[in-house]
Amino acid sequence: MPEGLIVKALSGYYYVKETGGGPGEPVQCRGRGVFKKRGITPLVGDRVIFEPTENGEGTVTEILPRVSELIRPPVANARLAVLLFSLREPDMNLQLLDKFLVHIENEGLETLICLTKRDLLDDSNTADELTKQVSELYRSIGYEVIVTSSHTGTGTEEVLKRLAGEISVFSGQSGVGKSSLLNAMLPGLGLETSAISLRLGRGKHTTRHVELIELENGGYVADTPGFSQLDFLELGVEQLSECFREFASYASECKFRGCSHLHEPGCQVRAALDEGKIAASRYEHYVQFYEEMKDKKRRY
Q: Is 177 annotated as a binding residue?
A: yes
Q: Cα–Cα–Cα angle for 196, 220, 172, nearest 5°? A: 30
Q: Is 239 annotated as a binding residue?
A: no
Q: Is 299 annotated as a binding residue?
A: no
Q: Is 176 annotated as a binding residue?
A: yes
- SS3 state at 183: helix
Q: Is 260 annotated as a binding residue?
A: no
Q: Is 178 annotated as a binding residue?
A: yes
Q: Is 114 annotated as a binding residue?
A: no
Q: Is 117 annotated as a binding residue?
A: yes
Q: What is the DSSP string of 236-274?
A: -GGGGGGGSGGGHHHHTT-SSTT--SSS-TT-HHHHHHH
The size of the chain, in residues, is 300
Q: Is 116 annotated as a binding residue?
A: yes
Cα(86)–Cα(117) distance, integer angstroms: 6
Q: What is the DSSP string of 42-106?
A: --BT-EEEEEE-TTS-EEEEEEPPPS-B-SSS-BBS--EEEEEEESTTTTP-HHHHHHHHHHHHH
Q: Is 142 annotated as a binding residue?
A: no
Q: Is 254 annotated as a binding residue?
A: yes
- SS3 state at 16: strand
Q: Is 173 annotated as a binding residue?
A: yes
Query: Which parts are annotated binding residues for GTP?
Result: 116-119, 172-180
Query: Which parts are annotated binding residues?
Result: 116-119, 172-180, 254, 259, 261, 267
Query: Which parts are annotated binding residues for Zn(2+)?
Result: 254, 259, 261, 267
